[in-house]
Amino acid sequence: MERVKHIAIIMDGNGRWATMRNRPRVWGHIRGSANVASIVEEADRLGIKALTLYAFSSENWSRPFSEVRVLFSLLKKFIKRERARIINNKIRFKIIGDISELPQGTQELIRELEQTTAYNQGLKLTFAFGYGGRAELVYAMNQFITQNPGQKINEKDLSNGLYCPDLGDVDLLIRTGGDCRISNFLLWQLAYAELFFTQTKWPDFSPAEFSRIVDFVTRRERRFGTIGEVSDLNEAQKLAERNRVTINQQLGTH
């Protein structure tokens, strides 16, 4: 799975999954949250380096408080339930987004697990919680402006200023639940990602379907703007720069 290193998932469709079964929406979140561990395990088994899961967007604050509260408590329960397994499997756990409004106890659990697993070399498991892609870009730019007043920012500076720079670009984005949109997720990191939208709602999304999607996408040709001779975006950008100079020389513009 060398070509698919970083996978991001928009875990959508919990509410509809429950409504279809005449259950309250939060039932869907409970079942959805129970599904996360098996997908993490499968990502690890497939040799994926980074898995970033969208669990709560900055826009999700506009949902009824009763639903928001359940989502908070499910994050806490997930950490308590999975802590030992995360540590044993050498997973590096992180949260990106604004968690300052979460209960203190949950924030402490998060920080503790982040610190305990900070140097783990296994799967980089990241939850986007209280996360917005635009807010992340503004954060990165503000960081740069503060540290380098009066200077112009370039692409590398911006990448380095993101919440978790070592995650790098996303190779594959999967969204469950049938909607074909990005919903303010990882706007910068998705620039050249393969996109896969499945009708399956998150509580029903199985390790087998996940693995089939990864396999399918691994066989897709990614061209990064070239005519097909490179294997990653870095290489394509270097090639573009070399060619630009050569083409300009031949045109006599250099």
Q: Active-site positions?
A: 12, 60
* Binding region for ligand IPE (CB under 6 A): 10-16, 54-57, 59-60, 71, 177, 179, 181, 183
CA distances from 197 to 9, 178, 210, 233 (A): 10, 6, 11, 23
54 binds, among ligand IPE, Mg ion, none (CB under 5 to 8 A by kind): ligand IPE
| Least distance (Å) between residue 113 CB and ligand IPE | 20
Nearest to 78 by CA among 138, 124, 33: 33
SS3 168: coil
- Nearest residue to Mg ion, by Cβ distance, number only: 12
Which amino acid, 56? F
Which of the residues 1 through 60 are near Mg ion (CB under 5 A)?
A: 12
181 binds, among ligand IPE, Mg ion, none (CB under 5 to 8 A by kind): ligand IPE
| First-last CA distance in the chain | 42
Measure the CA–CA gap between 245 and 8, rounded to whole angstroms: 35
Nearer to Mg ion (CB atom), residue 12 or residue 136: 12
- Nearest residue to ligand IPE, by Cβ distance, number only: 15
Nearer to ligand IPE (CB atom), residue 57 or residue 189: 57
SS3 208: helix
| Least distance (Å) between residue 12 CB and Mg ion | 4
Nearer to ligand IPE (CB atom), residue 97 or residue 161: 97
| Least distance (Å) between residue 46 CB and ligand IPE | 22
Rg (CA), the chain: 20
| Least distance (Å) between residue 34 CB and ligand IPE | 13
Nearer to ligand IPE (CB atom), residue 10 or residue 236: 10
Nearer to ligand IPE (CB atom), residue 27 or residue 224: 27
The upper half-sphere exposure of residue 120, i.e. CA atoms within 13 Å in the direction of its Cβ, equals 22
132 binds, among ligand IPE, Mg ion, none (CB under 5 to 8 A by kind): none
Torsion of CA 148, 139, 188, 230, to 10 degrees: 40
Residue with tokens 């697993």: 117
16 binds, among Mg ion, ligand IPE, none (CB under 5 to 8 A by kind): ligand IPE
Measure the CA–CA gap between 93 and 45, rounded to whole angstroms: 17
Measure the CA–CA gap between 240 and 204, rounded to whole angstroms: 42
| Least distance (Å) between residue 133 CB and Mg ion | 16
SS3 14: helix
Residues that bind Mg ion (CB under 5 A): 12
